[in-house]
Amino acid sequence: MQARLLLSDGTHFEGLSFGKPGTAVGEVVFHTAMCGYQEILTDPSYHFQLVTMTYPQIGNYGVNPKDFESRRIYAAGFIIRELSPIVSHWQANRSLDDYLKFHGVVGIHDIDTRALTRHLRDHGAQMGMITTTKDPLPALLEKLRRGEGLVGRDIVKEVTTDKTYVWPLSEEPAPAPKKKYRVAVYDFGVKFSILRSLYKSGCELEVFPARTPPDKILAWKPDGIFLSNGPGDPEPVDYAVDSVRSLLGKKPIFGICLGHQILGLALGGRTTKLKFGHHGANHPVKHLPTGAIEITSQNHGFIVDIESLPKDLVEITHINLNDQTLEGFRHKRLSAFSVQYHPESAPGPHDSQYLFDHFIKEMETFNA
């Protein structure tokens, strides 16, 4: 079946449909990882995005029962060059095409993803539409331009948990717990791999909805507070910024991705939107205190403006070597630190796992 990809600037591509036929709308971004499409699709941080994979052949190892980051697909749609006709992996239980069909997600393949990536890099990420309809392009373009974008819109409320829960889930295979520290996790779109990493580090985890008031967090008597990843623009998530601001100094705080941006806003910083974002598993980041270079996994379209953070309160700890944007900071007096990237490495390299150990040490020192 024929399919089309239409961008809000009028650029369009012709291709073939896979997954569920229909129409999907979202922000079109490109992702530079060679693998990990199952984790990418199920990561809540990709909510409301049409994800383009730059690696040419996708789907060759299928989908397996273990590499999920949530219980469903959050990406609005999937864009690839070549859909592998063969699935070959000992853990696979279905094809990528079948997986998208099962979750009702629209995909398009057999398009020039290199040309699309260059266009997004030159002109910026923008709203787009994948469709199998035969409607005229001018009508589709008008409909697309009338829709909502990401800036100024709170989409955390669409991905956060409805109620508090304990990790691990009943169906989650887990090692014998150490349970040395109680960690309250603010769920802005948390990934299972982040919870697994915290759990393996010896944390007893309670996951709380994004709007949970600070007094309820403190009533659980945590040793530390974790601010998770999540999708979209951080500034409309003002309720989370207010909560974090009131929790500063009361418990050690560790934030990643959207949680990093929310901590930055709580400290008086500002956030801005990147031209085409950082989406991939190969972004070089320099750890300024040691000079070490980490290759990191990232997915974000917004950043904390490095110049906006108060220099008397904040020390910059990590810088992106591609564009010199802020990748990490810590409070100079309080136990609070964060990074823009994903240290749980799913998918991605393991260079940043040390950050979970650092969080443990922060809790040890704070609660000594």
Cβ atoms 54, 114 nearer than 8 A: yes
Among candidates 191, 176, 177, 179, which has minimal Cα distance to 363? 179
Residue 66: CB atoms within 10 A of its CB come to 10
Tokens representing 171?
């169906």
Which residue has tokens 């508090």?
A: 164
Residue 93: CB atoms within 10 A of its CB come to 13
Burial string for 349-365 (b: 16+ CB within 10 Å, else e) reads eebbeebbeebbebbee
Beta strand 326-331 with 336-339 is antiparallel
Is 109 known to be catalytic? no
Beta strand 2-7 with 126-131 is antiparallel
| Spatial separation of the C-alpha atoms in residues 296 and 347, rounded to whole Å | 10
Cβ atoms 258, 234 nearer than 8 A: yes
| Spatial separation of the C-alpha atoms in residues 134 and 16, rounded to whole Å | 13
**Catalytic, out of 27, 327, 344, 362:** 344
In DSSP terms, 50 is beta-bridged to 28, 77
**Catalytic, out of 69, 327, 342, 362:** 342
**Catalytic, out of 31, 109, 257, 331:** 257
Is 82 known to be catalytic? no
| Spatial separation of the C-alpha atoms in residues 56 and 81, rounded to whole Å | 5
Is 172 known to be catalytic? no
Helical pair 192-200 and 354-366, crossing angle rounded to 10 deg: 60
Beta strand 165-167 with 77-79 is unpaired
Positions marked catalytic: 257, 342, 344
